[in-house]
Structure formats: structure tokens, C-alpha cells
């Protein structure tokens, strides 16, 4: 999996993520097809659209965001990895999000946050009191 027109750091991060999810290059079918839509002569002549299929999971991805094939190859792999990650870690990530939400709800507010909320309430109350009808004297 070399030859993408991205930085080595991005390429390395993608490889690490793929190895973490146990996605092997041998399990990926890669095809290049002509992109659809606007683009004129370039679209009609060059096969820049990348189609990937991960055989074990059956996940399919098609990417034609960029004009260059190598960049589309990288982006398609990134999309494939994110789709497989949601398949594999879907339950875990949703559960983790639910737990985090509960933790945030139960956490006590800081003194500064309480003061800020009370100040906002005071301002709102003053604004409303100015709308009250004037009392006539005399």
C-alpha cells in the first residue's frame, strides 16, 4: 500500500488503523473506473474513480472526490476503514458514548459555572421587569 500522494505521516496513520482493525491489503479488491459527473475530457479519458471491496465484511466503497487516482485511493481506504470500524466497534462506541453522556450529566457544576448561570438569570429577570406596566402615582 504505497504510492499515495499524501504525507508519510497520514499514510502511516492509515496503515496503523488498518492493522489495528485487522484489515489486510490482500482482502481488498481494488478497481479503477471512470468517474461520473462534471469534469469534461479528464473524466471521460482517465479512470480516477476508485472502487474498493473488503471481501470478509462485504463493505464496498467508491471514491471520486479528487482528480488524481492516487489521492482517491487513499481517501477510499480511509472511508473503508471508517465503515469497517463502525461495523466492528459500533456497539462499543455507542455504549461508550452513552456512559460518557451519563458521566457528564452527573458531574457537578463548578462554582464559576454556577455564578455565570445565575448572572444570566439576573440579566434576564431585569430585562423582563422593564417590560412591566408603569404604575401611575398621584
* Separation between Cα atoms, residue 20 and residue 120, nearest integer Å: 48
* Separation between Cα atoms, residue 25 and residue 12, nearest integer Å: 14
Q: Note the pLDDT of residue 91.
A: 62
Q: Note the pLDDT of residue 1.
A: 52
Residue ranges in the chain modelled with pLDDT below 70: 1-2, 91-93, 138
Q: What domains can be seen in the chain, in order of their start residue? A: 8-103 (3.30.160.20)
pTM tops 0.85: no
Q: Note the pLDDT of residue 66.
A: 86
Q: Note the pLDDT of residue 28.
A: 93
Q: Note the pLDDT of residue 135.
A: 77
Amino acid at each position: 500500500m504505497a504510492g499515495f500522494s499524501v504525507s508519510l505521516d497520514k499514510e502511516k496513520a492509515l496503515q496503523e488503523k488498518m492493522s489495528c482493525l485487522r484489515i489486510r491489503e490482500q482482502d481488498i479488491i481494488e478497481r479503477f473506473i471512470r468517474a461520473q459527473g462534471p469534469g469534461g475530457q479528464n473524466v471521460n479519458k482517465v479512470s480516477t474513480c476508485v472502487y474498493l471491496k473488503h471481501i470478509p465484511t462485504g463493505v464496498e466503497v467508491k471514491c471520486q472526490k479528487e482528480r488524481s487516482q492516487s489521492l482517491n485511493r487513499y481517501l477510499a481506504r480511509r472511508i473503508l476503514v471508517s465503515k469497517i470500524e463502525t461495523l466492528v466497534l459500533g456497539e462499543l462506541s455507542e455504549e461508550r458514548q452513552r456512559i460518557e453522556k451519563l458521566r457528564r450529566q452527573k458531574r457537578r457544576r463548578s462554582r464559576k459555572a454556577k455564578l455565570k448561570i445565575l448572572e444570566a438569570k439576573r440579566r434576564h429577570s431585569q430585562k423582563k421587569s422593564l417590560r412591566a406596566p408603569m404604575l401611575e402615582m398621584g
